[in-house]
Amino acid sequence: MEYYINDIKKDNFEGKEVDLNGFINSIRKGKNNTFFMLRDPSGIIQCVSHSSDKNFNEVNEITRESSVNVKGIIKKDERAEGGYEISVKEIKVYSIAEPFPLKKGHKKVFLFDERHLWLRSPKMTAIMKVRSTVFSSIHEFFSENGFYEIQSPSFVGGSVEGGATLFETNYFNKKAYLTQSWQLYAEAMVNSLWKIYTVAPSFRAEKSRTWRHLTEFWHAEAEIAFKTNEDVMDLEEKLIKYIVKNVLIKNADELKLLKRDTTMLENVVNKPFLRMKYEEVIDLANKNGLKLEYGADLGADEERVITSKLDVPLFSIDYPIELKPFYHKPAADSKHVLCNDLLAPEGYGEVIGGGQRVDDKETLLKRLKEEGLNEKDYEWYIDLRRYGAIPHSGFGMGVDRLVMWICKLPHIMYAVPFPRTPRRLNP
Ligand code: 4AD
Ligand code: MG
């Protein structure tokens, strides 16, 4: 039977012999007794070795972060963290660790330099467990709702989300770019499969260095045939509710360790999300002290103010056409587009961007021209409007941003095992 530390902190294990692999989280050596905390993915347990035990000398050789196998008897002990303790019978050392470089109170920059080691901390472990639930929930949700999972290339010939954030690479002496979104490919694939999704990295050469921007991020995107902006918002809301509900059930211990107040997450599951038109969102921002004019773009700072007092996510919809890329379908007034940004509460802001797509050739050609884009670069995409176009909609969700908000982290870099930002390529 495979078991972990948290499985054995139970009465039915009391007095039984257990066999565990783990790392030494901390150690306190004494003349008569040596105590160490053994850590595995599930948790930590206190282990004790007495000077009369035959392995006492071996135990005294181990150091913090050494890797070991421990055999011993599990005992109830009120004084031990978690209420149980292992009395060590045998210890096998896999590797004695050199003096461990991470200590409490280290500066953040140092911790990011040592990310390969920092990932072992209980806090980072808890975040990564939540992240795992988020990813598996996305796949479960789409699978349960009849979507096909399908992939698009990472090397692409042109931009989706504007040239400013394109990463250029040398592709056999030609220019290629790293994809910003699967969307244009999705709009081709949606014609045969009708309900599709992907979970993949997207790349943005972000010049804006904020707490919510990465240069490489995980993007969960969906595209659906014969659906409107309204329909796709319903789907986004269902998806977010599904993920958060799963995290509340599966990661109760991790949320506790992260000191995450779960009231807000419960609201997300139980209350309907808000929907406001762009103009109303601008009014809301101004009521909260900003001085925005119609036409202002909403970035991290503005969204922080807009969402900090909300108790559920907010769909900010129908932006002025100038603020959004060419592919959004214009509304009847031609001044707005049928789009939605889903803003997370508690100051976090945009986690999803989506909407309805232009579905006729004339409008698409006009929009490409207005945006100063070269028709030639979009030939195959224009074809999709030549040969049986359909109404369709979709969205992209920043998975790292979602994890940051669910765990209420101060920076997106905490939500990713090895974050990539303009300043960080190592480790
Ligand atoms: O709003 P965006 O740019 O929309 C698109 O890329 C659409 N083509 C998606 C689609 O409709 N299929 O990006 C979608 C989401 C954002 O809401 C944000 O959560 C995340 O991707 N995102 C980033 N996350 C981290 N770092 C960055 N630099 C990000 N840029 C976007
Ligand atoms: Mg966006």
Per-residue b/e over 116-154, b at no fewer than 16 CB within 10 Å?
eebeeeeebbbbbbbbebbeebbeebbeeeebeebebee
How many Å lie between the centroid of ligand 1 and the Cα of residue 397? 6
Closest ligand to 161 CA?
Answer: 1
214 lines ligand 1 (CB under 6 A): yes
* Ligand 1 geometric centre to CA of 316 (Å): 15
Ligand 1 center–CA 354 separation, angstroms: 9
Residue nearest to atom 11 of ligand 1 (CA): 395
Question: CA–CA distance from 4 to each of 190, 312, 419 (Å)?
Answer: 44, 37, 29
Please count the other Cβ atoms lying within 10 Å of the Cβ belonging to residue 301: 11
pLDDT at 81 (0 to 100): 85
Q: Which ligand is nearest to the CA of 319?
A: 2
Nearest to 398 by CA among 206, 247, 199: 199
Distance 324 CA to ligand 2 centre (A): 8
Separation between Cα atoms, residue 425 and residue 427, nearest integer Å: 6
400 in contact with ligand 1, CB cutoff 6 A: yes
Does the beta carbon of 395 lie inside 6 Å of ligand 1?
Answer: yes
Atom of ligand 1 nearest to the CA of 397: 15
Query: Which atom, in ligand 1's list, is nearest to the CA of 402?
Result: 19
Residue 249's pLDDT is what? 98
Closest residue (by CA) to atom 7 of ligand 1? 396
Q: Are 229 and 393 in contact (CB under 8 A)?
A: yes
pLDDT in tens, the chain (427 residues): 789 999 998 888 999 999 999 999 999 999 999 999 999 999 999 999 999 988 899 999 999 999 999 999 999 999 988 899 999 999 999 999 999 999 888 888 889 999 999 999 999 999 999 999 999 999 999 999 999 999 999 999 988 888 889 999 999 999 999 999 999 999 999 999 999 999 999 999 988 789 999 999 999 999 999 999 999 999 999 999 999 999 999 999 999 999 999 999 999 999 999 999 999 999 999 999 999 999 999 999 999 999 999 999 999 999 999 999 999 999 999 999 999 999 999 999 999 999 999 999 999 999 999 999 999 999 999 999 999 999 999 999 999 999 999 999 999 999 999 999 999 999 9
Q: Is 345 in the pocket of ligand 1 (CB under 6 A)?
A: no
Mutate to test the pocket of ligand 1, among 350, 397, 414 (most ligand atoms within 8 A of CB): 350
Binding site membership of 220 for ligand 1 (Cβ less than 6 Å) = no
Instruction: Please give the Cα distance from 324 to 332 (Å, whole number).
Output: 16
Residue 298 CA to ligand 2 centre (angstroms): 10
Ligand 1 atom closest to Cα of residue 342? 17
Task: State the pTM of this model.
Answer: 0.97
C-alpha 406 – ligand 1 centre gap (Å): 17
- Residue 113 contacts residue 419 (beta carbons within 8 Å): no
For the Cβ of 396 lying below 6 angstroms from any atom of ligand 1, the answer is: yes
Instruction: Please state, in angstroms and rounded to a whole number, the distance separating the CA atoms of residues 330 and 141.
Output: 30
Architecture of domain 112-415: 2-Layer Sandwich (3.30)
Q: What integer pLDDT is reported at residue 54 of this predicted model?
A: 86
Contact between 421 and 214 under an 8 Å Cβ cutoff? The reply is yes
Would you list the domain boundaries of the chain?
5-95, 112-415
Residues 6+ positions from 12 with CB-CB distance below 8 Å = none
pLDDT on residue 209: 81
Pick from 271, 269, 265: nearest CA to 242: 269
Asked if residue 283 has its Cβ within 6 Å of ligand 1, the reply is no
Distance of CA 374 to the CA centre of its chain: 34
Ligand 1: atom nearest CA of 325 is 8
Fold adopted by 5-95: OB fold (Dihydrolipoamide Acetyltransferase, E2P) (2.40.50)
Say what the pLDDT of residue 105 is: 83
Which ligand number lies closest to the CA of residue 343?
1
Spatial separation of the C-alpha atoms in residues 39 and 123, rounded to whole Å: 13
- Is the distance from the beta carbon of residue 273 to the nearest atom of ligand 1 less than 6 Å? no
Q: Is 351's C-beta closer than 6 angstroms to any atom of ligand 1?
A: yes
What pLDDT does residue 206 have? Answer: 87
